[in-house]
Amino acid sequence: MQSLTIPRPDDWHLHLRDGAMLKTTVPASATVFHRTVVMPNLVPPVTTVTAALEYRARIMEEVPEGVSFNPLMALYLTAETTPEQVAEAAANDHIIGFKLYPSGATTNSAAGVKSVEALEPVLAAMQEYGVPLLVHGEVTDSDIDIFDRERVFIERHLIPITERFPNLKLVLEHITTADAVEFVKNANSNVAATMTPQHLLMNRNDLLVGGIRPHNYCLPILKRRTHQQALQQAALSGSPKFFLGTDSAPHVQASKETACGCAGCYSAPAAIELYAEFFSQHNALDKLANFASGYGADFYQLPRNTDTIELVQQEWTVADTVDTATGPMVPYWAGSRLQWKLKC
């Protein structure tokens, strides 16, 4: 049986939710990943260091005994965020950065930013203190096609931000387009991107052909095949600018299978195996270790993990559902086979 040992990976973009849901989501990620960047789009959003540390404490209560897990907290950037709050965040090792959600762009983003230009004093402070800006890069204008919203956001906002603040560390999260790949490649070394399993393994045909598949619905939405291929080429290139960020986003089955289904793919139960599937499909398993366990840590100037995980080449089927305290969830890739499995 073929096996692959890599340093323990990190997930640089993760949604855990709160309350009873943590009993399911925290063990699923903590037993695989050492560090995760925890997204702050709760209700109400996590906008202060105090709120983030309280949320982190609730997460740590659900970490299985004997598991080493370090959730790094992102703060929700709003019009009320101040340079003083940036300084406070910079002084706390548990805070990784600020997350920019355009208002209305995705789940629980109503409190998000309506004017990126108004953030200049805060962005200046983030550049000064070395605090990263994590970006959901989509405009929300009703007249902009949903498949073009990432490209327009880059042109309208990100290019000016990187020109105005060249020393600001910036992560364009869950990229989905060739435009995003080119932006990140052409930007300086302070700019990087996370990639999800669904955007590497699927395109919009997997969402829409033969009927709508709600459990493949996420935001940013899956794009056409040519964009998927651009993402794949970037991941396979070995560039340190592209690294793992699952964007695993739990929603119970009833919230997905409804007239207005929630956006998000819950990939945590098979996250590292899904990435192994992608790299294996392209005969590039040698690229998995840096993508999953190296480049993200390097970008955030954190030490690479020294403990390891082992994957074995063993066919298995992702569960149809995952039980939670608030109802069943259908995980990403449910009922489908994978060729690599984490050895427990």
Catalytic residues: 247
- Residue 46 in contact with residue 76, Cβ under 8 Å? yes
- Residue 181 in contact with residue 175, Cβ under 8 Å? yes
323 three-class SS: coil
- Residue 191 in contact with residue 172, Cβ under 8 Å? yes
| Closest C-alpha to 74, from 96, 53, 55 | 96
Where are the strands (E) in 225-307, listed by range?
242-244
In sequence order, which residues have a C-beta less than 8 Å from that of residue 126 and are 6 or more positions away?
Answer: 86, 97, 98, 132, 133, 165, 168
- Tokens for 195? 């990639």
- Residue 238 in contact with residue 180, Cβ under 8 Å? no
Helix (H) or strand (E) holding 341: strand 337-342
Angle between helices 120-129 and 83-90 (to 10 degrees): 20
- Tokens for 165? 């603040």
